[in-house]
Structure 1
Amino acid sequence: MKNAAIKIFTWWLILLVGGCVDPYRPPEITSPGSYLVMNGFFNSAAGATSTIQLSRSQNLTDTKAPTVETKATVTIESQSKATFPLTEGTAGTYTLSGVTPQAGETYRLHVRTAKGVEYYSDYVPVIQTPPIDSVSWRIENNGVQINVNTHDPTNNTHYYRWEYDETWEYFTPYYSTLELKNNQIVDRPFSVNQCWRSGSSTNIMTTSTTRLSQDVVSQFPLVFVSSNSNKLSVKYSILVRQFALSQPGFDYYDQLAKITQNIGSIFDPQPSQITGNLHCTTNPNELALGFFRVGTVETKRIFITYTDVPFRTVTGYDGCVIDTFTQADIIKFQSTPIKKYGETSRYLVSSEFCVDCRLLGGVLTRPDFWK
């Protein structure tokens, strides 16, 4: 969601008559202004830490990470004039701990950049998020479809948004106890065949129950995990985060999703500008992107193991092979030794990719939540 907000302020599609389409990039796309982007919320759970991230918008074609907004003065203010300053830790990330919003109060975000430009959000109420009833999954199209279920017995929420973090465990096909270092075969100081890799949701996922007789969300689709990935090769986990939204908040995310995720054809929603509830008071014509909200977040985690699924899972190492080399061959070809080949002077070898799981993007540290 954050990257979508960073890269969205104007989209253009030019159709030329005559059966020929020529690419056109107007100045607004190729040389956009640098606008403030806010991502985060005031967490109303007792003892929770609230995080606000500030960065700058960028060209639609830019692939580098967005520029973060550092050394800003960031505060959260109540309508009754209470003020809570946030502290910058990691560059562009501002946090507040030990402060719990009061039910019935409204709050706004105030940002003053290092250059003296000031931004205020609208005052927003505290919205409590109902618990997640369950995160369910089913076998579908040779993969696993993961869904979320929730409801509000008070029939007051109606607007929902979700994010998720996924983590999966995997192993290399070969366990190597040796490595080539400075043209010497030595013992490995630690194992490199077991890894954990993580990813997060990138799409904006929202739904509304306003047209239903009850405030119930049943089997809302979150993510499909294909058997063609290695996510299900050992164990997979997903942590789902659920947010209750106000109607303006829902409208913001819903519109943002439409113009960033449905731009594949001329029949999709037309590109437009969307900003949120953050406004520049120094210069009213200056855009600001993001939606400040106050409320709780509900979470639920599930695990799926390879024994739970009926299909063969992919390891990601189908092309790995093993061979036997002498020490001279290992040095000559800079191969990766695995272990001695019996009582001979030869070694079992493979490629480094097939013995070091980190090369597939994982880390060796077992997550604290893993079981």
Structure 2
Amino acid sequence: MLIKNSRIYFWILLAFTSCIDPVEMHLEPQPEQLVVEGLLTNEAVQAPIKLSYTQRYTKEIGNVARKARYATVYVTDQNNTRYNYYENEPGNYIPESFTGTIGNTYTLHIITEDKKEYLSAPEKMLPTSPVDGLSAELRSRQVINPAGIEVTEYAFQTFVNTSDPADEKNFYMWRWIGTYEVHTQPQDHTRDVQGTPVPDPLPCCAICWVTEGHQNISVRNDALVNGNKIIKQPIAYLPVLPENFNFKYHLQVKQYSLSESAFNFWRILTSQVTGVGSVQDPPPASIPGNIRNINDENETVMGYFGASAVSTNTLFINRTEFPFAISRYIYADDCRTLKNSTATKPDFW
């Protein structure tokens, strides 16, 4: 009887599945949209203006966004002084010689290869307070590893302190860059020969320095602390792993002043990027930028051009700051093949 019922269920299931027709999605072609990423600062080395286009909807997966090449890019201040940028690599534009000045107002101008003209709203470079200090606290929590075993995971939660000026609205953004030394084993490298690993030692390199965190940001305003100190603003959560804490870890934090419109842009962007995807999450919102096509007000331009003063502070987290052993990092290859790595020791190391 069990076998007979199983066969009945099988044929019923087959009948249902065989009636399902594939649905063809007919999406209207979407025009490419210009994407602008640019932040002008008072630092000696200026960040680039990056230009690209959004991808079209296609059946293909893995398309890379097209860079906006051969554009004319320049910035003007309130006195109409012009500062030219040039393309040093596809879609990446850097100034010839230019450092922003606190108190000045800057506007971005873009003329694309197909002669479309874009203009940003003026952005005033506001001062920012000094970073009073950085700190790191070792945290632990119980997690289930891939083997299904409960283990203790350690990480450093890092913080920044700063002082907020009184009697004015202030908006802050923080970015961090972490650097650590990593040792690998290129002498143990092998190559596959018909399914068999054969020794293939490499001449270089066993010691590298890896950077991370370039795009990680956090923002806040001074609504709850106006005129007081901002204490222990969370910045980076750094898991303790064999590759990054076998020696020491260098953390650099940059603090930026933002206009209110820039703050709103980054606040919405970070909230969408860090969403966990639950039903309680807010729905995706339109992120208003500050760049427009001067001849077509209906064209949507993505991104934001900002101007900001910068203050910086650094912190070394040493291997001696946690009382337990860390496994040796095993990577039988040239350490330069690791993402964002270099065999050149940083000046601050």
- Which TM-score applies when normalising by structure 1? 0.72
Q: Is the 8 A contact 1:263 1:269 kept in 2?
A: no
Whole-angstrom CA distance in 1 between matches of 2:106 and 2:342: 42
Q: Is the 8 A contact 2:202 2:334 kept in 1?
A: no
Q: For 2:46, which of 46, 49, 59 is the aligned residue?
A: 49
> How far is 1:109 from its partner?
0.7
Q: For 1:162, which of 174, 182, 197 is the aligned residue?
A: 174
Q: For 1:288, which of 298, 301, 305 is the aligned residue?
A: 301
Q: For 2:36, which of 25, 32, 38 is the aligned residue?
A: 38
Match of 1:77 in 2: 76
Output the amino acid matched with 2:248.
K
Structure 1 runs of 4+ with >6 Å offset? 23-26, 177-180, 184-188
Output the amino acid matched with 1:260.
V
Whole-angstrom CA distance in 1 between matches of 2:334 and 2:75: 46
Alpha-carbon deviations, 1:90-137, whole Å to 9, x = none? 221112243344554422111110001111111121212222111210
SS in 1 for 2:98: coil
SS in 1 for 2:232: strand
Output the amino acid matched with 1:39.
E
Q: CA distance change for structure 1 residues 302 and 130 in 2, over 3 Å: closer, same or farther?
A: same
Structure 2 unaligned regions, length at least 5? 1-22, 141-153, 192-197
Alpha-carbon deviations, 1:23-58, whole Å to 9, x = none? 998847xx543211111222234x443521111223
Counting matched residue pairs gives: 309
Q: Is the 8 A contact 2:173 2:218 kept in 1?
A: yes
Output the amino acid matched with 1:56.
Y
> How far is 1:178 from its partner?
10
> How far is 1:214 from its partner?
2.3
Match of 1:235 in 2: 248
Alpha-carbon deviations, 1:285-334, whole Å to 9, x = none? 111112212222222222222222223224332xxxxxxxxxxxxxxxxx
SS in 1 for 2:124: strand
Q: For 2:206, which of 184, 193, 198 is the aligned residue?
A: 193
Q: CA distance change for structure 1 residues 59 and 309 in 2, over 3 Å: closer, same or farther?
A: farther
Q: Is the 8 A contact 1:145 1:223 kept in 2?
A: yes
Whole-angstrom CA distance in 1 between matches of 2:120 and 2:74: 11
1:366 aligns with 2:349: no
Output the amino acid matched with 1:249.
A
Whole-angstrom CA distance in 2 between matches of 1:64 and 1:199: 25
> How far is 1:63 from its partner?
4.5
Q: CA distance change for structure 1 residues 358 and 26 in 2, over 3 Å: closer, same or farther?
A: same
Match of 1:323 in 2: none
- Which TM-score applies when normalising by structure 2? 0.76
Q: Is the 8 A contact 1:44 1:296 kept in 2?
A: yes
Q: Is the 8 A contact 1:49 1:97 kept in 2?
A: no
1:1-371 equivalences under 5 Å are 27=27, 32-45=30-43, 47-58=44-55, 63=62, 65-141=64-140, 142-153=154-165, 156=168, 158-172=170-184, 176=187, 189-190=203-204, 192-317=205-330, 353-354=331-332, 356-358=334-336, 360-361=338-339, 363=341, 365-371=343-349
Output the amino acid matched with 1:255.
I
CA-based RMSD of the aligned residues comes to 3.4
> How far is 1:263 from its partner?
5.0
Q: CA distance change for structure 1 residues 185 and 79 in 2, over 3 Å: closer, same or farther?
A: closer
Q: Is the 8 A contact 1:88 1:94 kept in 2?
A: yes
Match of 2:146 in 1: none
Whole-angstrom CA distance in 1 between matches of 2:307 and 2:338: 39
Output the amino acid matched with 1:75.
Y
Output the amino acid matched with 2:306.
R
Alpha-carbon deviations, 1:167-199, whole Å to 9, x = none? 211223x6849999xxx9999655x33222222
Output the amino acid matched with 2:273.
T
Output the amino acid matched with 1:67.
R
Identity %: 25
Whole-angstrom CA distance in 1 between matches of 2:94 and 2:209: 28
Q: Is the 8 A contact 1:119 1:280 kept in 2?
A: yes
Whole-angstrom CA distance in 1 between matches of 2:251 and 2:26: 41
Q: Is the 8 A contact 2:189 2:332 kept in 1?
A: no
Q: CA distance change for structure 1 residues 294 and 233 in 2, over 3 Å: closer, same or farther?
A: same
Q: CA distance change for structure 1 residues 287 and 164 in 2, over 3 Å: closer, same or farther?
A: same
Q: Is the 8 A contact 2:37 2:305 kept in 1?
A: yes
Output the amino acid matched with 1:147.
F
Output the amino acid matched with 2:346.
D
Output the amino acid matched with 1:36.
L
Whole-angstrom CA distance in 2 between matches of 1:286 and 1:178: 53
Q: CA distance change for structure 1 residues 314 and 245 in 2, over 3 Å: closer, same or farther?
A: farther
Whole-angstrom CA distance in 2 between matches of 1:203 and 1:364: 21
Whole-angstrom CA distance in 2 between matches of 1:240 and 1:109: 26
